[in-house]
Chains A and B, each alone.
Chain A
Amino acid sequence: MSRNTARRKVVASLATVALAATVAMVTGSVSASAATKKLTPQTGGTLTFLTHSPRLDHLDPTRIYTGRDLAFETAYFVRTLVSFKHVAGPTSTSLVPDLATNTGVPSNSAKQWRFTLRPGSKFQDGKDITCADVKYGVSRVFDQTVLGDGPTYMINWLDIPVDKSGSSIYQGPFSSSAAGIAAFDKAVICSADNRTITFKLGMSVGDFNYLLTYPVVSPVQKAHDLGDKYDLSPEATGPYMIKENTSAHLMLVRNPNWNKSSDPIRTPYPDQILLNYGLDQQVQDQIILSDSVPNAMSFDAPLPTNLKAFFESSSFKGGKLNEDTAFVGYIAFNVKKMPCLQIRAAMYYARNAKALLDYAGGPTYNGSYTTSLTSPLNTVDYAANGVWGPPNPDWKPEGNVAKAQALMDEAKTACPSEYKRVTTTGVTIDVRQSSTLTDTIPINKAAFARVGIVVNYNPISAGYYPTVMNASKQNDLSNSGWSQDWPNASTVIPPLYTPEGGFDLSQNTGEAIYPAFHAAVLKAIGTSNRAAQAAQWKALDKQAAAQFWVLPTLGIKTQVVWGTGVQGAYYWLPQGEPDYAKLWVTK
């Protein structure tokens, strides 16, 4: 405890000489390490997580996709062929082998990738993990009707023909034709000793091995596959296995068939991991604030009303993190419905970003003005594109009304019919229903009204993405957000700006520059020289920004808090979460 106090004093001293804006960041990150005592990690105990969510999105490895779930599940019970390095700082985004013996061997201009499995790795039932199990695991993602929600890169990348509708002829292990199965068998090949798996891709993908950090490429025993119900209790390959999965909690206990010699990554200190679902958020915060369960870590950011108690009060003795994430918010223009560039740009300049950021709590806890769809955390691919945010001299946090008005005046002659619609009946923005809308809608309406733009909102209560992803239902703009899947803009620019990525809300394929843009995207995906690829992504980001296919909002921050009994926590960049694999408890 005394060491904590001493370190806090150092932080306080530093803070007095630091710039005000930097103070918040420094306090956040240093407090986290201050709370994490430099003790020797110890084995045993129960590590408890608290969340207000009624459940994790998915437990089935094929279907896990959100950062928090990925960080949690790959730390404890799902092993992948390749993993991100489990260390603090930027080096964590580099790859290390997990179930495989290396991080992949590319050939044929990165159209073919080979991975060899590490010997000694087993499922929780004691059976050896083989290439056939990995291959079966990969096959599952092709049945999106049963096993949806996971990353679908494999469907686009594997060298499997598509039918007239553009769908893969392989439809997964449950309902495929003979031709589909044959095509899949040609694209994913196991060696005779059942230890080496080869992926044949239909295009060059220089960062294919990053996809293998995702459980969508992890082993599943065909005999144990229960389809949709596999989501309830998937078989473990990591150091823990699921003991109970109820409406109240997920309880993980040690997997007797996991052995450290076959797993170079994980250090399973606690005997048991208990994730408690469905807590009231205030209750969750009070448990951590009062340290009534010292071994507990909150799985969600604290309530905005409690942030000061956690981050600015000395009475809180637990640990805390306040970090930038790679998540970027944006509103996608449906370019088919809003083809006028001047109007799209005018909406960007008219928007009062400062009022919205202030409403959200300001930069200390809620983020920063977006300067690129690629997060600044991706130091290789990120560069402020010069169109969005502070680097653009025309941009003002509260909105540049003069610039926006000038663009609207241009639009009056360049696209008169759209101008008339926008200034009379107005544009409609799809938004997910939320309690903050009643406050943010007036801010936005007032900002756009300054240049005569009328905005209407379409709050969607349930099935938001299925609605807006349907081109016939999508309105003029759709609110959204995105985070890179791994530190490569190949997981940002193609998904958000091209249909192949599966998340193209901007409907920009009819734009004059699109064919050239699309060709440049495919070229960048296939570029294996990382520096050259990064230059291409930066250029593409700038090109897309200048077209205002999306209206960027904020780069998002995250907060994590935990009790005094949790140790070893640090911010893990790859998934924007604490590194759960390294946590241990003292009490």
Chain B
Amino acid sequence: MLTFVSRRLVYAAITLLIVSMAVYAIFAILPFDPAALTCGQHCTPLVIRANRIKLGFDKPLWEQYWMFLHGIFAGRTYGVGSAAFHCPAPAFGYSFNDNMCVTELLQQKLPITLSVAIGALILWLIVGVGLGILAARFKGRWPDTASSVFVLFGTSLPVFVTGLFLLIWVSIKWKIIPISFLGYVSVFSDPIGFVKLFILPWITLAFAFAALYTRFTRASILETLGEDYIRTARAKGLSEKKVLRIHTFRAALAPIVTLASLDFAGLIGGAILTETIFNLPGIGQWTLRSVYEFNLPVVVCTTILAAGVVIIMNLIVDMLYAVLDPRVRI
């Protein structure tokens, strides 16, 4: 098992390295000068040249990349003299648009995105898996029909429609959950404020995901119920509740856990629409804006983060599978 995990960790590190190199390479071949983007309307060639040197854009690409890697482990100082500033390790660069080290910004934005993703995950698992179980348990009856209607709406309504509807009607017009401008509050400092801030984004995301999970859970349970060992269990005289609880759920929910972990990983890097609609300055909104602004350090950082989360979640799933199925370890 240790060998398996070590091997996967090495693969994960190599993958992250390749991802960061790829992002660097993509930005390098784009037809613009990153130094020119550090100043505005009165950006003279003199200023651009000075900023190019200050940020290291005057150096060969491989050297820039090396400085980037070095900064992650040792921190990095930009500029000289009294105007110099230091970004401590792990330094992913400096965002001129925000006047801050990228890592500082990440520390501000990650809790927001995690709050959105974790809350939505819990909600969609409860609703999606719950409805899926009901639909499978009462296949062909009204709970199954009702869940089908829910699935229909959930899969056909895009996130931006649900989100805008909830925000404009529930929050702005009906004022059921009045819009808050007080920014991010931690669940530990203000639990009620936290729920008020995130409940609509959770519902928006959970609505879309829960629909998929309802369908997936229903299919998975029905498939499991058709297995020979379930027939055996029933033949042994076990009650239907026990068959479902002990023999069916465990087997049917395993792939759902895999799916949920990957969806969760995707949300860490990409709840762009939800964050934009609800004005939650998390990773997704930040990444989108940075792409528009060609803010290389931020894009590299968020891409590596997104890739890292996917890799870690994959690793966890693989480890779980390795526990469940020793053949994977070979």
Nearest residue in A to B34 (C-beta to C-beta)? A463
Q: State whether the Cβ of B45 lies closer than 8 Å to any Cβ in chain A.
A: yes
Partner of A293, one of B45, B179, B183: B179
Nearest residue in B to A59 (C-beta to C-beta)? B99
Verify B79–A227 contact, CB threshold 8 A: yes
Instruction: State in angstroms the CA–CA spacing of A461 and B280 once bound together.
Output: 25
Q: State whether the Cβ of A174 lies closer than 8 Å to any Cβ in chain B.
A: yes
Q: State whether the Cβ of A57 lies closer than 8 Å to any Cβ in chain B.
A: yes
Residues of B bordering A, CB below 8 Å: 32-33, 36-37, 39-48, 50-51, 54, 79-85, 96-100, 105, 108-109, 164, 167-168, 171-173, 175, 178-179, 181-184, 276-277, 279-281, 285-286, 289, 292-294
Verify B279–A462 contact, CB threshold 8 A: no
Nearest residue in B to A166 (C-beta to C-beta)? B46
Instruction: State in angstroms the CA–CA spacing of A148 and B49 once bound together.
Output: 13
CB distance from A303 to the nearest CB of B (A): 13
Q: State whether the Cβ of A287 lies closer than 8 Å to any Cβ in chain B.
A: yes
Across the A-B interface, the 7 shortest Cβ-Cβ residue pairs: A247-B281, A466-B36, A145-B50, A174-B83, A227-B83, A466-B43, A248-B183
Q: State whether the Cβ of A414 lies closer than 8 Å to any Cβ in chain B.
A: no
- List B contacts of A145 (CB < 8 A): 46-47, 50-51, 54
CB distance from B88 to the nearest CB of A (A): 14
Q: Jot down 26 A-B pairs with beta carbons below 8 A, ordered by A.
A: A65-B40, A143-B83, A146-B79, A148-B40, A148-B43, A148-B47, A149-B39, A152-B42, A167-B46, A174-B81, A244-B183, A276-B279, A277-B279, A279-B279, A280-B167, A290-B172, A292-B175, A461-B292, A462-B32, A462-B292, A463-B33, A463-B37, A466-B43, A469-B42, A469-B44, A502-B42
Q: State whether the Cβ of A377 lies closer than 8 Å to any Cβ in chain B.
A: no
Nearest residue in B to A275 (C-beta to C-beta)? B181
Residues of A bordering B, CB below 8 Å: 48, 54-55, 57, 65, 143-146, 148-149, 152, 165, 167, 173-175, 226-229, 231-232, 244, 246-249, 274, 276-280, 282-283, 286-287, 290, 292-293, 461-463, 465-467, 469-470, 502-503
Verify B181–A249 contact, CB threshold 8 A: yes
Verify A146–B37 contact, CB threshold 8 A: no
Instruction: State in angstroms the CA–CA spacing of A48 and B180 once bound together.
Output: 11
Nearest residue in B to A175 (C-beta to C-beta)? B81
13 new A-B contacts at CB < 8 Å, known A227-B82, A292-B171: A48-B181, A65-B41, A149-B41, A175-B80, A228-B99, A232-B99, A246-B183, A247-B109, A292-B173, A461-B294, A462-B292, A469-B41, A470-B48
- List B contacts of A167 (CB < 8 A): 46
Verify B82–A144 contact, CB threshold 8 A: no
Interface hub of B184, B279, B293 (most chain A Cβ within 10 A): B279
- List B contacts of A470 (CB < 8 A): 36, 45, 48
Verify B181–A292 contact, CB threshold 8 A: no
Verify B80–A283 contact, CB threshold 8 A: no
Instruction: State in angstroms the CA–CA spacing of A217 and B179 once bound together.
Output: 39
Instruction: State in angstroms the CA–CA spacing of A246 and B98 once bound together.
Output: 10
- List B contacts of A248 (CB < 8 A): 181, 183-184, 279-281
Nearest residue in B to A502 (C-beta to C-beta)? B42
CB distance from A153 to the nearest CB of B (A): 11
Partner of A465, one of B40, B81, B179: B40
